[in-house]
Every structure is written in structure tokens, then in C-alpha cells.
């Protein structure tokens, strides 16, 4: 692509960042360098250069969502691979091998489907609220999504109802502040070499909710996804088969 065509092809550039799972911040830095180079060449040639605008809205969200599923490299292939899902069964097995703080961090990640930074942010009441909804007679956690920089402040909050029995102690865990991010190498060590990372809990949250008969649109909202395609593409497990009873036809 010619330098003069950079701005015209900005969508192709955004899609490339998403495909390569490049973070939003790093994407903006690349665009900044491209713009500096474009201006330099334009001055030399005495021509006009139209800057590439940083990704916003759906493009920024798409880049963010693709980046969130990126983990460490496969030692043999040298490529990026996704985290294995952290299931309640695996979490129970890990309990005896981890500190209480590490276990509680994974517990919050699993039963709220949070991004690692969102779990960390629960240490401060600036980033979360626990409320009771009189209409649905249920407590819920309102969580600030600090990574969604493309959205307005008021649109960065998501609400997750505490409807499962396993979620009933979440408020106590959060308020105790007894949770701490474990090391990825610690997870791998104690999970029988599964490719388990800090996204493992979030990776299993969709199917965890589907197993409990929750609506797919609601689950996507709890995940903080604007588009359900993101939920399906990056977080719906392909190794699980489920279906609802078939109605009898007369």
C-alpha cells in the first residue's frame, strides 16, 4: 500500500491488528509511527498526507477482544495459542496446591467471567459496586471495564447478577481483599501441564452459564461484549455438545 493510501485503507490496517492479536495501545503506537513517516515523506515530495486515525468504536473493541485471548507462545510451534478453560472441577483440584489469595483470584475470575485486570481492580471500590435490584430480587456486581477505552465512561460498566449458588460468597471474597493474581507458570505447574492462563476462568464462563440455562444474549452482556459474535468466536467452547429437548411433532 502506498503511503498516500494509508488513510483510505485504515479499516484494512485495523483488521490486520485484530488478526495478529496486537494490543490496542501498541496498535496506536504503530499508527503514530506510520503517520510520522507519512508526514516526513510528504514533506520530501511536497505532497499532502492524510493521517490514519486511531481505531475507535467497533474497531477498537475488535482489537481489544482479539488481544484478550492471546497468551504465551507454544514452545514447539512458536505461535500464539489460547488458554485452556478453567472448570470448577479443575479449580477444586488446584485449591490444595495454591495459597488462599491465589485460589480466590481464580474463583472470582471463573464465576464472574472477568478479564485479569478486572479481577485485580476489584481491590478498589472505584472499579466495582455491589447492589441489590428490587425488581429482580437479586444482588449484582457492577464492574468497570478499564480496557474499553473506545467507549464513553458511562458505557464501560457491566452488570453481572449473582444468581448461582457458587456466586453467593463473591461479595465476601471481594470485600475481604484476600485475592491475588497467581503466576501463569504456577497455574501450569499445578494443572498437569494444561495450557491454563489467567484467562482460563473467563474462557469457560460462557459454557458455565449455558450449562445453567442462561440466555446467550445475557451472557454476552455479562462478558462485556457489544457483539455476540465476539462471545461465540473467542469464548464458546467447541468441545461441548448441548441441546434443548426436541418438541414432539403431531
Give the cell for residue 163: 444468581
The percentage of the chain sitting over the pLDDT mark of 90, rounded to a whole number, equals 50
Question: For the CA atoms of 168, 172, 178, 183, what is the dihedral angle to 10 degrees?
Answer: 20
Task: Provide the whole-model pTM.
Answer: 0.69
Higher pLDDT pick, 78 / 228: 228
Q: Cα 231 vs. chain centroid, distance in angstroms?
A: 10
Q: Quick one: pLDDT at residue 106?
A: 96
**Is residue 74 predicted with pLDDT exceeding 80?**
no
**Is residue 214 predicted with pLDDT exceeding 60?**
yes
Q: How many residues does the chain have?
A: 250
Give the cell for residue 220: 454476552
How many angstroms separate the CA atoms of 63 and 18, rounded? 5
How many angstroms separate the CA atoms of 202 and 83, rounded? 10
Mean pLDDT of 174-194: 87
**Is residue 54 predicted with pLDDT exceeding 60?**
yes
The percentage of the chain sitting over the pLDDT mark of 70, rounded to a whole number, equals 92
How many angstroms separate the CA atoms of 222 and 246, rounded? 28
DSSP state of 245: P
Give the cell for residue 15: 483488521
How many angstroms separate the CA atoms of 34 and 6, rounded? 8
Region of poorest pLDDT, from 37-46, 179-188, 227-236: 227-236
Strand partners, 140: 131, 161
How many angstroms separate the CA atoms of 185 and 234, rounded? 23
CB 82 within 8 A of CB 203: yes
Amino acid at each position: 500500500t502506498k503511503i498516500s493510501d494509508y488513510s483510505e485503507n485504515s479499516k484494512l490496517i485495523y483488521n490486520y491488528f485484530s488478526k495478529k492479536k496486537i494490543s490496542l495501545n501498541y496498535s496506536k503506537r504503530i499508527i503514530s509511527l506510520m503517520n510520522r513517516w507519512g508526514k516526513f515523506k510528504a514533506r520530501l515530495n511536497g505532497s499532502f498526507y492524510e493521517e490514519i486515525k486511531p481505531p475507535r468504536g467497533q474497531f477498537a473493541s475488535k482489537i481489544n477482544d482479539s488481544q484478550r485471548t492471546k497468551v504465551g507462545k507454544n514452545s514447539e510451534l512458536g505461535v500464539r495459542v489460547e488458554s485452556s478453560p478453567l472448570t470448577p472441577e479443575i479449580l477444586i483440584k488446584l485449591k490444595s496446591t495454591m495459597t488462599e489469595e491465589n485460589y480466590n483470584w481464580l474463583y472470582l475470575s471463573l464465576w464472574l467471567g472477568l478479564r485479569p485486570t478486572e479481577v485485580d481492580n476489584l481491590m478498589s471500590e472505584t472499579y466495582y459496586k455491589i447492589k441489590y435490584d428490587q425488581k429482580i430480587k437479586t444482588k449484582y456486581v457492577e464492574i468497570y471495564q478499564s480496557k474499553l477505552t473506545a467507549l464513553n465512561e458511562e458505557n464501560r460498566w457491566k452488570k453481572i447478577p449473582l444468581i448461582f449458588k457458587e456466586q453467593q460468597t463473591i461479595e465476601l471474597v471481594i470485600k475481604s481483599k484476600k485475592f491475588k493474581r497467581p503466576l501463569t507458570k504456577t497455574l501450569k505447574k499445578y494443572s498437569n501441564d494444561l495450557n491454563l492462563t489467567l484467562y482460563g476462568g473467563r474462557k469457560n464462563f460462557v459454557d458455565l452459564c449455558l450449562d445453567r440455562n442462561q440466555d446467550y444474549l445475557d451472557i454476552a452482556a455479562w462478558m462485556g461484549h457489544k457483539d455476540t459474535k465476539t462471545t461465540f468466536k473467542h469464548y464458546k467452547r467447541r468441545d461441548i455438545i448441548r441441546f434443548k429437548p426436541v418438541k414432539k411433532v403431531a
